[in-house]
Amino acid sequence: MALEKTWRWFGEKDTVTLPDLKQMGVEGVVTSLHHIPTGEIWSVKEIERVKKKIEEYGLTWSVVESLPVSEAIKLGTSDRDRLIENYKISLSNLGECGIDTVCYNFMPVLDWARTDLHFKNDDGGESMLFDFPTFAAFDIHILQRENASADYPLYIRQKAKKIADSLSIEQQEELAYNIIIVTQAFIHGVVDENSRDYKKQFLSYLKKYDQIGQEQLRMNLSYFLKEVVPVAEKAGVNLCIHPDDPPFSLLGLPRIVSTVDDFRWILSQSDSVSNGITFCTGSLSTRTDNDLICMAEEFASRIHFVHLRNTIFLSDNSFYESGQLKGNVDMYEVVRILLEEQMRRKKVGRQDIRIPFRPDHGIRILEDYNRTANPGYPLIGRLKGLAEIDGLQMGIEHSIK
């Protein structure tokens, strides 16, 4: 049995339509109720409405990405119990509607981060770059976060200063706007995208984590898991946490979903299969100490969803996205492990056999330049990735049968 081919669809507003997906050979849709603010309940009625729409085109709603976790839950503030109750109701409602896989993350304030959304590759395509010194320039000189300098070694601070000096006011603004708004707004970002003082707002969100280190954030995740996992289990839903992207601390914020030890700790908080992982090869591969093959093998039985994409390291913690096959990740091995895991689950009689994958992010090529898309989500580049992974898995399946 192949890995289910899925595609992230941003709902009615997406320029790629459901009939398009059908033509492309997609089987399952990955989406969220993007119009519902974080923390509010997803009603059965609203879930059913979107599900029906997807099914009208012969597709299924394969995975929820994401059911976002409110900042108050990550911070452990007084409002968290009410928000956790809402989260539980949404999970039960999803289960009731037959949707059984829910991706979420526990990254404070900022979901993913890149410094260049139009990074020119040698062959003329465009992908995304995370340049650490540029990120430091944003943090220290543009955002001017208090004590930011202390988080960077001297040689990075020197590079950051040079970069900040070389950017015009407009370029500085664009960098900040990309990091705080453009990459976040389409996925339940915390900062109001229409706010003129978005940098100030962002700084005030960061400030709330002043007293929250890794240990405290772990305690808050543990509290959340102990509450929601039993509900997910009862509803027949597998939760799967998405790794930090990139998997190291940024802006002085704690990160707790980055390394093999982090995942061991998360899985140890509840033995339930419902307490699972989204295996995002792109995010995990940007740490040299993450051995993805070992991680895929160790955590296979708890992986419920996969994001497949590749990255290439540059110096200083920097990297760029390099499509699906070429790069740091041995995609052959990862896909082989997941296919074997599905076979193993079948053998032991598990009900949740399927491990859906989606081509995560793509390189912007060809017609993508004439289309609008959220950063990282060009149609043609992702379609190429989908076809590449599908061909790869077909080859592997034949050879291991």
14 binds ligand DNO (CB under 6 A): no
Collect all residues with Cβ–Cβ distance below 8 Å to 372 and sequence separation of at least 6: 15
DSSP SS3 for 56 = helix
Among 97-105, 224-232, 250-258, 344-352, which window interacts with ligand DNO (CB under 6 A)?
97-105
Give the Cα separation of 112 and 250 in Å (integer).
10
Q: How many residues does the chain have?
A: 401
Q: Bridge partners of 31?
A: 64
> For residues 168-181, b (16+ Cβ closer than 10 Å) or e, as one string?
eeeebeebbebbbb
Angle in degrees, 0-180, between the axes of helices 331-347 and 379-400, rounded to the nearest 10: 60
Of the candidates 39, 276, 323, 376, which one interacts with ligand DNO according to CB under 6 A?
Answer: 376
- Annotated catalytic residue 141: no
Nearest Cα residue to 381 out of 116, 113, 8: 8
Query: Mask of contacts with ligand DNO, 223-262, x by CB under 6 A?
Result: -------------------x--------------------
66 binds ligand DNO (CB under 6 A): yes
What residues from 25 to 44 belong to the interface with ligand DNO (CB under 6 A)? none
Its sign, for the CA torsion 6, 11, 286, 265, is negative
Of the candidates 42, 61, 87, 104, which one interacts with ligand DNO according to CB under 6 A?
Answer: 104
What residues from 258 to 317 belong to the interface with ligand DNO (CB under 6 A)? none
**Interstrand relation of 126-130 and 311-313 (parallel, antiparallel or unpaired):** unpaired
- Annotated catalytic residue 97: no
Among 38-46, 73-81, 99-107, 114-122, which window interacts with ligand DNO (CB under 6 A)?
99-107
Nearest approach in angstroms of CB 111 to ligand DNO is 4
Among 14-22, 102-110, 216-224, 310-318, which window interacts with ligand DNO (CB under 6 A)?
102-110
Query: Exactly one of 139, 245, 280, 304 is catalytic; which is it?
Result: 280
Q: Which residues are catalytic?
A: 242, 280, 307, 360-361, 377
Contact residues for ligand DNO, defined by CB under 6 A = 65-66, 103-105, 111-112, 187, 242, 360, 376
